[in-house]
Every structure is written in structure tokens, then in C-alpha cells.
Amino acid sequence: MKICFVGACNLAVLAPQYRQHQIGGESVQQTLLARALAQRGHQVTMVVQDYGQRDGAEWDGIRVYKTYRPSAGLPVLRFFHPRWTGMWSAMARADADLYYVSESGMHVGLAALFCKRHRRRYVFRTASDADCEPRRLMLKYARDRWLYEYGLRRADAILVQSAMQAEALSRHYGLTGRVARMMVEKAQPAPARDIDLLWVSNIRSLKRPERMLKLADDFPDASVHIAGGPMTGSEALFRDVMQAATLRRNVTFHGRLSYYDTGDLYGRARLFVNTSDIEGFPNAYLQAWARGVPVVTLIDPDAIIEREGLGIAVASPDGLRDAAHRLLHDPAAWRAASERCRSFVAREYGDDKVLSVYLDAFELALHAPSAAPDVPIAENPRNV
């Protein structure tokens, strides 16, 4: 298959020399999926932002086409140029049969319009519970909400992270989503478990980093590590969290780390803590479980943590302290949970098992009766 992954921040995961740039969980997932497909002989491309890389450069067998620089263009006008034109031009150069898009945003609608015009297929995958409910969409502008719903309704296949998301998608949009598990990179052994409580995320208000600071106060003798960079519009919150963290003797604040660098932190941790109000299926859970790290959280997708014993899910922020205390101070309970985490990932998240759902969805999208003929897309900008 000729598959193109449309993910603005993917290059920071794919190419080590660009790892200083901001990423999210979908950047990790798209890149791991793209690598696995390339290794199995599929022709894989990516459409990413312009960080100064050569257009058409290749990493791990994946050819990468650039769209626009993150700060390029004038307010309002930049929606059309360079964002719309840049995205379409890069998608045209990729010349794929199928385009893979994830996470709500205007890019979903733009990708759908491109595929409609050029008679190509595309698959969409949710990245958060909020992607399945109009009232919870984390999109500022009505234009972006409209484009997202337009693209969502025109996807040739929709993949979701959990059964809960599938139900919400059906209830709110009348659409069918198939649950697709996430890719997990093999974990490297860490030298020691010298971090008691670990928090890793982009620092923004819905992630509720202040709850982790409170937990650090509740465990003054514990080693607490916080890693995360600022999101656009959340710079003041980042500075506040950094300042508050440096005032606590038991807290180490790392700021933004690359995907590769956070792997070492997970391996050193005893517990991973998630304090968010809204999530989908956090990539961080899988990174933790693969290294035998139980999760303490408010978010339990499809009750998987409770059912499989992969940590402790609580009903309110006040419960985080008791859950952490239970696992930190009961070595036998921690060892049992740690072993369940490793076993669960090994059993349920092997590459071939995870990939089968994606490949089925791709084949269905490509070979449905209305699938487009194989018509090359010219690189002439007038065709875009």
C-alpha cells in the first residue's frame, strides 16, 4: 500500500536531530505505526511541518514532505496560505493512495477536501475522548470545528482508542468507529528505580499539573519528577509550574524532553501519575506499563486499569494520594502490579496483533466499491 501519515509534529519523533520540537501522543503513535508498516514493505510517506529539513528526505524508510513553518504567515490569512496551500501541496507530492489523519482540528477537513478532489482515500483516528463529543472539542474557532466535523463525516474508515469512544462517536455523530490499539516501542532496561512519582505531559490547564505539585507536598520524602514543555497559549502556566517545582526540594523539573529521553524516566519510575481531566488512551500509560510501572490516575479507558490490575484508578483528585501511598508503601503489591503491567503489554500489544486492525481498515477503505482509480497527482501547484 502507498500510505501517507499527516502529522504536523511527527518529525520530532522520527528524526533524532529534530527531537527538541514539541510533540504529542499522536506524533508518537503515527511514527511508530509508520515505521512498522515501512518495515513490512509498504510505501510510507509523511506530511509534517517545516523545521528546515530537506523536502523529500527519508528516515527509517519513510519519505517526508514538508508543509510550512509553524510561525509562517499573517494572522487570519495564514489559514489559506501557507497552511491550506502548504498542506495540500505536501499531500500532492506524497501522492499516496490512502492518507492517515488523527486528532481533531482543521487539518481533518482539509485532508478530506484534498482526498475528495483528488479521488483518494483517508482514514481518521481519534486521539481523545473529546474528539467524539462536539461539546468537548478542544478547538477555539467555529471554522475549525466545522472543518473537523466535515472531515470526520467523510472519512472512509474511523478508528477509535476505546469502546467508550466508539459509543460516544455513535451517540453524538451517528458514526461507526472501530477500536484500534496503540503501538508500543520495546522498552530498554533502566539502571535503578530511583523515581517514586513521575508525571510526563505537555503543560496545559486540562492536564492539571498543580495536582502533581500537591501530591509532591503529600509525599515530602518521595522523589518526584515532572517533565513537560509549554503549549502555545500556556506559557504563563508553564512558568508558574516550573517556579513552584523548583521551590520544592523533592521535585525535579525537567521541562520539555524528547520522546527518547522520557523513556529513561519511565524506566526509573516506581509509579506514573496522570492528573488530567480529559484524555483518550494516553500513550504514557503504554510507555509506563511496558517498563513495569503501574499507573495512578483519574482516567481509566474502558476500565482497563481496574480490570487488569495495572495500577489504581480513582474517582476524584483526593484519591490520588491514597492510591499512591498504597503502592509506594506495599512492596509486594507494587511488584505484583508491575509484573501484571509487563505481562499485559507483552500479551496484548505485540506489533502484528496491533497492526492487523489498522491493515484491515486500510484495505477496507481502499477496496470499497467507490474507491478511486490510481491517478497520479501532478506536483504542479496549479493542480493543488
DSSP string covering 261-303, please?
A: HHHHHHHHEEEEEE--SS-SS-HHHHHHHTTT--EEES--GGG
Give the residue-averaged pLDDT of 6-16.
Answer: 94
pLDDT at residue 335 tops 60: yes
What pLDDT is stored for residue 369 in this prediction? 66
What pLDDT is stored for residue 43 in this prediction? 98
Lowest mean pLDDT among 21-30, 102-111, 157-166: 21-30
Give CA–CA dist 358/374, Å, rounded.
21
pLDDT digits over 28-37, tens only?
999 999 999 9
What pLDDT is stored for residue 263 in this prediction? 87
Provide, rounded to the nearest whole percent, the portion of the chain with pLDDT above 70: 96
Give CA–CA dist 226/256, Å, rounded.
10
Give the residue-averaged pLDDT of 212-228.
Answer: 97
Q: What are the phi and psi torsion angles at 44 (to 5°)? A: -115, 135
Q: Which is nearest to 148 in space by CA: 116, 124, 177, 117?
A: 124
What does pLDDT average to over the chain? 92
What pLDDT is stored for residue 20 in this prediction? 79
- Cα atoms in the 13 Å half-sphere on the side-chain side of 348: 14
Q: Which is nearest to 275 in space by CA: 329, 204, 184, 217?
A: 204
Entry pTM:
0.86
What is 195-348's CATH topology?
Rossmann fold (3.40.50)
Lowest mean pLDDT among 124-133, 189-198, 203-212, 290-299: 189-198
Give CA–CA dist 316/232, Å, rounded.
28
Give CA–CA dist 258/261, Å, rounded.
5
Q: Is the CB of residue 42 less than 8 Å from the CB of residue 24?
A: no
DSSP state for residue 161 in the 8-state scheme? S
Give the residue-averaged pLDDT of 252-277.
Answer: 92
* CATH 3.40.50.2000-classified regions of the chain: 2-183+352-383, 195-348
pLDDT digits over 39-53, tens only?
999 999 999 999 999
Q: Which is nearest to 165 in space by CA: 277, 302, 29, 276?
A: 302
What pLDDT is stored for residue 214 in this prediction? 97
What pLDDT is stored for residue 183 in this prediction? 93
Band of pLDDT at residue 374, cut at 50, 70 and 90: very low
Q: Is the CB of residue 335 less than 8 Å from the CB of residue 309?
A: no
The side-by-side arrangement of strands in the sheet containing 178-179 is 57-59, 62-66, 43-48, 2-6, 98-102, 121-125, 157-160, 178-179
Is the preceding peptide bond at 82 cis, omega within 30 degrees of 0?
Answer: yes
Band of pLDDT at residue 382, cut at 50, 70 and 90: very low
Extended strands (E) in the chain:
2-6, 43-48, 57-59, 62-66, 98-102, 121-125, 157-160, 178-179, 195-200, 224-227, 251-255, 269-274, 295-297, 311-313
What pLDDT is stored for residue 193 in this prediction? 94
Band of pLDDT at residue 370, cut at 50, 70 and 90: low
Superfamily of domain 2-183+352-383: Glycogen Phosphorylase B; (3.40.50.2000)
Q: Is the CB of residue 45 less than 8 Å from the CB of residue 64?
A: yes
Give the residue-averaged pLDDT of 243-249.
Answer: 96
What pLDDT is stored for residue 185 in this prediction? 86
pLDDT digits over 141-167, tens only?
999 999 999 999 999 999 999 999 999
What pLDDT is stored for residue 383 in this prediction? 38
